[in-house]
Amino acid sequence: MNAHFTAWRSRHGRLVGPLPGLGAVLGRRDVIAGAVASACIAALIDRGASAPLTHGGPRFAPVSERAGAVPWRMLAGITQLPDGSLAGVSPEIMALDGADVVVDGYMIPYDDAPRQRRFLICPSLVDCPYCAPGGASGLIEVSAVRPVASTHQAFSARGRFAVNPSPQAGFLYRLTAARV
Domain boundaries of the chain, sorted by first residue: 8-46, 72-179
- pLDDT of 89-128, one tens digit each? 899 999 999 999 999 999 999 888 999 999 999 998 887 7
- Bridge-based pairing state of the strands 173-179 and 140-149: parallel
What would the pLDDT profile of 51-76 be if each residue is shown by its tens digit? 343 444 556 778 889 999 999 999 98
> For residues 172 and 164, what is the distance between their CA atoms, to the nearest angstrom?
5
Q: How far is the C-alpha of 80 from the C-alpha of 175, rounded, in Å?
A: 22
Pick the CATH number of 72-179 from 1.25.40.10, 2.102.10.10, 2.40.50.870, 3.30.420.40: 2.40.50.870
For residue 143, pLDDT over 90 is answered with: yes
> What phi and psi, each to the nearest 5 degrees, are found at residue 76?
-80, 0
Q: Strand 155-163 and strand 115-122: pairing? A: unpaired
What is the tally of helices (H) and strands (E) in the chain? 3, 9
Decide: pTM greater than 0.95: no
Which residue from 134, 150, 141 is spatially nearest to 177, judged by alpha carbons? 141
